[in-house]
Amino acid sequence: MDLSFAFLSSEGYVGSTAAAQIVVKLGASDKIAPLSLSELRIHFGSNFRSLLISHAKSSENSFTELKDLKEEHDPSHPMAKSLHCTADLDIRPGQIHVYNVQIPLREADLFKATGASVVLARDNVTLEYLYTQPTDIVASSWILGSEQGVIERNRSQKSSLTILPKPPKMQIRILNMRETFTNENVLLQIETTNEEDENAMAVKLQAKMLDQDGTDVAISWHVQGEEVEKSPDGSLELGEIVSSKSVVHSLALVAPSTPSNYTLGITASYRLESTLEAEPALSKTLTIEVPFVSPFEANYDFGPRLHPDDYPDFFSLPALTTDTQGNVPQAQGIKHRWCLTSRIASFASEALTIESTAIVVNKVTSNMLCILDGVQGQSDSSSVIEARGLSTAVHHFDTRRFSMEDRRVSAVDCSLAITWRRQDPESTPTTTLLPVPHLTIPAPEPRVLCTAESIKTDTGALPVHYTIENPSMHFLNLSLTMEASSDFAFGGPKVRSISLTPLSRVTVSYSILVYESNTDNNESGNTGDSHSTRSSPGRGRWIWPMLRVTDPYFNRALKIMGTGPDTSVDDRGNVGIWVATAE
């Protein structure tokens, strides 16, 4: 007698059934008497130790669907179970009996047929025949029944079945995932949907965010806008979720201060309403890469400005004093004003509202104070920067040395603080710190500051002022020479000598009348002059007055510096003035 066993497929899932087929064929010789088996058993190496078919007389044909399988404890294995059913086991010579069975899959395991046995009981004699090896019961085909008779499908049949854990149908989605920025308070909307065919019980969400080094990032759960009390493992108990229903909760975190990539993992563990307590819980995990990028980048222009306060009186300098602690001298030097112009570029793919910008002083050299109070250290004007757009922020601050005679170079280390928010009403302000390159404060040497007024006089002339500062303790005798130009006429001294006392300054003014030119209305403002090194503020052109300020005694020329957006310095140190034209 030939006996074979096969699974229809090589894989199955916990909670489902696997189609299997048992084929019994008795030799075709007429000399062989019909057999009436008392039982047929297929042995497995899994949590079900065997499939037992007991004989029960019936009128069914050669194809039998085994139904009403009962799970029973296997007497030979107290900790295991077996499957039991009944079928007609009467077999005549030349007859093929096919038994199709749906085997329930309970645990993730390897379901493998290790052998079989048949028992023949007659006249108080019991005979058992064993198929001891898996190869003894290997099937070569899958047998089907039809109106034309038996059909054999030649295919490689499997005597083993890999049972995989039941694929969870719980779905986890992030509803408002978008680009995330450094320092931002992020609130992610987490939707949990039960797509199982039955209710999910004891649903629990657990989230973890790790950086590239595997370090945890602090996160918290929010329900209806309120933070949930943290559990020891950072999980959130959801309880029961009805089939086909969804619940939404929020996951809050604070983005890191530096651009980096993080991995967010959210796991939902649950049990189905029909599962037993002893069975392991199902779990579904969503893993997503979350890059945190800086929303802005900036480049900077740094230069001097004319301080509005008067220079101190050389004959009434304050006496050197100390602070209330008696150990740090108060600043006695001349106040100098500086301007930091920041051109901010947005990296965001959406428009952002910049609520304010400010300078944050991180460190100042020990011989100087940096003063933000009373000057424009912060800009509170709100503006919108478009996606991938540009914005400009202008900040001023004062410096003052402790000693009037200090001639050392100093430095300021600072950052640009940008307070911004998204356009949606629920967004909260976020402050992003951008590093500013090392700002060098030169030694207090004599210098010339050029200031141009944007409003022309009634005659059409443009007022231009040159302020000469002498912050030293020495007398200066200077020579001023304004060179003629084919671009403009000027009113004021062409050649002049000036004497400056220690700690003093003087202003020399000129009226500049620009000649008409066919390039005045050039949109770019570039006249073709090699002096032009920066983009134009609008319609107009650059002119380049050549004022020479020299100290004949030391045969040295003083450096002339621009002090506003309408001035520019070329690579040769010449100061240009922007002359705007009417629209």
For domain 2-164, give the fold.
Answer: Immunoglobulin-like (2.60.40)
Distance of CA 219 to the CA centre of its chain: 14
Q: Is pLDDT above 70 for 276?
A: no
Give the class (CATH, top level) of 447-580: mainly beta
**What phi and psi, each to the nearest 5 degrees, are found at residue 137?**
-125, 20
- As a whole number of angstroms, the distance between CA 152 and CA 143 comes to 5
Q: Does domain 299-441 have CATH number 2.60.40?
A: yes
Largest CA distance in the chain: 143
Residues in the chain: 583
Predicted confidence (pLDDT) per residue in 196-217, tens digit: 988 999 999 999 998 888 778 8
DSSP conformation class of 135: G
CB 23 within 8 A of CB 96: yes
Q: What is the pLDDT of residue 521?
A: 43
Predicted confidence (pLDDT) per residue in 261-274, tens digit: 999 999 999 988 87
Say how many C-beta atoms besides its own lie within 10 A of residue 564's C-beta. Answer: 19
First-to-final CA distance of the chain: 107
The answer to whether 2-164 and 170-293 have equal CATH topology is yes
Q: Is pLDDT above 80 for 299?
A: yes
CB 39 within 8 A of CB 118: yes
Residue ranges covered by each domain of the chain: 2-164, 170-293, 299-441, 447-580
- Category of 275 on φ-ψ map: left (φ > 0), alpha (ψ -120 to 50) or beta: beta
Residue range 100-129: mean pLDDT, rounded: 87
Tokens representing residue 417 in the block: 């603080």
Give the class (CATH, top level) of 170-293: mainly beta
- Could you tell me which residues come within 8 angstroms of residue 150 by beta carbon, excluding any fewer than 6 positions away? 96, 143, 144
Task: Quickly tell me which residue has 């190496």 as its tokens.
Answer: 45
Predicted confidence (pLDDT) per residue in 491-511, tens digit: 999 999 999 999 999 999 999
**AA identity, residue 25:** K
Predicted confidence (pLDDT) per residue in 394-438, tens digit: 999 999 998 888 889 999 999 999 999 999 888 889 999 999 999
